[in-house]
Amino acid sequence: MKIPKGLKKGDTIGLISASSATPPELLPKAIEAVEKLGFNVVVGNSCWERHGYLAGVDGLRAKEVNEMFKDPTIDGIFCIRGGYGAMKILSQLDYEMIKENPKVFVGYSDVTALHIAFNQQCELVTYHTPMPSTEFVKPEMDDYTWNSFLNNVTQTERSSYFLENPSSQMMTTLVPGEATGQLIGGNLTLVTASLGTPYEIDTKGKILFLEDIDEYERSIDRMLTQLKLAGKLDDAAGIILGAWTNCGPQNPNHPEQSLRLQTIFEEILVPINIPILMDVACGHCLPTMSLPLGRTLRLDSENKVMEVVG
């Protein structure tokens, strides 16, 4: 895997949206937030454009991703937000060129589609992190989240370090055990949507991270079941479960008509009998940790340890 050069103050960040349109009132605040970190900012056209629910037409968004990687004056690329649309541009990206121009690439949620493609097609380490118009602008952005983000994107070549929850949030062991493998994954909806495409996620021998937002519990059940039937869960060396924000029963007044997420995890994941760690503070939540996707991770779910080792 290619580990991109770490960012430093004074570097230039390309700000893009490969997915949904950016609310215009948030764009100046997002730019200012990145500049306050000590970076110069080049704002892509996709941050200004709107094509229905998309940040401009597919060709524009794909062209911008390619250009930002190709441009030698751009040191890192930040996706300003998620939403929907990243999968639509996968077939238009120049993976050979991107592979030859490794850069820090960050985002999460819908950006999961790009993380999977870049990890597998370009052998590029990418970063599952909060984003400028969705978290950077929030007053509740905390020191833990900022430090996790900055440590990941500026100290990219650290040989080993631990990924730890905030001190006030405990991780939970779902299945005890130890495993070592490449850290992959992201948003469950996008991971599942990759199945059957040329960009299908490869989980064999890897540590699979999953999180999601605003999904009914039966939808989580359906997607996990699809991954299991596709062999993706059994192939994995271990699983990390992050935040499941606003993922609850379709009819909260009749809880007997639903299943708790804990029950779903126990019924679908536990029988696989691989190490599984849950309640990891990562996903659509604050505080949230940043993850180096593509790096090698040692998972000790019994002792609640996640260590980047390669």
Task: Give catalytic residues, as residue numbers.
Answer: 109, 211, 284
Q: What six digits make up the tokens of 234?
A: 């059994």
Q: What six digits make up the tokens of 82?
A: 């998620």
Q: Show the DSSP H helices in the chain as ranges.
A: 27-36, 58-70, 95-100, 112-121, 143-154, 188-193, 217-229, 232-235, 261-268
Burial 220-251 (b: 16+ CB within 10 A, else e): bbebbebbeebebbebbbbbbbbbbeebbbee
| Cβ pair 80, 131 in contact under 8 A | yes
Nearest-angstrom CA–CA distance, 157 and 174: 31
User: What's the length of the chain?
Assistant: 310
Nearest-angstrom CA–CA distance, 110 and 191: 10
136: Cβ contacts below 8 Å, ≥ 6 apart: 30, 33, 34, 130
